[in-house]
């Protein structure tokens, strides 16, 4: 028997997991925050519960002990995705995801292409070494986009060799999913 094809991506599962914490969150709150349908959220929550990562009570869903441990391991590797509201592409949403301990430190155009394949309109990859720089371009982002640069610097805690992925898309769901897709090309993020 053939069922309905899932209407979500593996990146949506990770976004859902990262949004849930120790404080209970309702399914409707997740629907609103993550721009996913109620049935999709229900399916994702059931999958996370089956993996013993979540528990539920009347007020909502929250991380189990195993879920907290798994989330802590993920947060050691990444920060975000975070909404940024940059002016680079005025009509598009923007978000950033910081990779704290990249296993692959080389940033190539293939990573930007991955963001676009995942639905983003555009993406910028920065490497941090005392300052944010786009490795393969001779372009001073700080000088050319001072407001956006300040907003980025204030949004994350940078350390040497961190990689920052910024994606631009028509909606935050696509923005966040494409940033996660790029991050997964650099480091292994599993739930």
11-32 pLDDT, tens digit per residue, is 999 999 999 998 999 999 999 9
Please name the helix (run of DSSP H) or strand (run of DSSP E) that holds residue 83, with its range, or none: strand 78-83
pLDDT band at 66 (very low <50, low <70, confident <90, very high): very high
CB within 8 Å of 174: residues ≥ 6 apart: 93, 118, 119, 120
Q: Which domain holds residue 137?
A: 77-186
**Residues 102 and 137 both lie in one domain:** yes
Q: What 3-state DSSP class applies to 118?
A: coil
- Given a contact cutoff of 8 angstroms between Cβ atoms, the answer to whether 87 and 148 are in contact is yes
Total structural domains within the chain? 2
**Residues 119 and 141 both lie in one domain:** yes
Kindly state the average pLDDT of the residues 134-147.
86
pLDDT band at 1 (very low <50, low <70, confident <90, very high): very low
**Residues 82 and 58 both lie in one domain:** no
Report the C-alpha gap between 133 and 128 in whole angstroms: 6
**Residues 38 and 123 both lie in one domain:** no
């Amino acid at each position: 028997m053939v069922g309905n094809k899932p209407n979500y991506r593996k990146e949506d599962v990770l976004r859902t997991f990262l949004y849930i914490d120790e404080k209970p969150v309702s399914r409707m709150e997740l629907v609103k925050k993550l721009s996913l349908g109620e049935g999709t959220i229900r399916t994702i929550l059931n999958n996370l519960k089956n993996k013993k990562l979540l528990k539920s009570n009347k007020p909502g869903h929250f991380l189990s002990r195993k879920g907290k441990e798994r989330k802590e391991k993920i947060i050691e590797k990444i920060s975000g995705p975070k909404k940024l509201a940059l002016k680079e592409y005025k009509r598009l949403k923007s978000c950033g995801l910081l990779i704290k301990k990249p296993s692959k430190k080389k940033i190539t155009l293939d990573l930007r292409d991955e963001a676009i394949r995942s639905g983003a309109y555009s993406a910028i990859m920065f490497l941090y070494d005392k300052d944010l720089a786009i490795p393969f371009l001779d372009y001073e982002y700080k000088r050319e986009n001072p407001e956006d640069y300040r907003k980025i610097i204030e949004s994350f805690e940078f350390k040497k060799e961190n990689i920052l992925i910024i994606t631009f898309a028509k909606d935050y769901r696509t923005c966040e999913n494409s940033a996660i897709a790029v991050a997964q090309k650099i480091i292994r993020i599993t739930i």
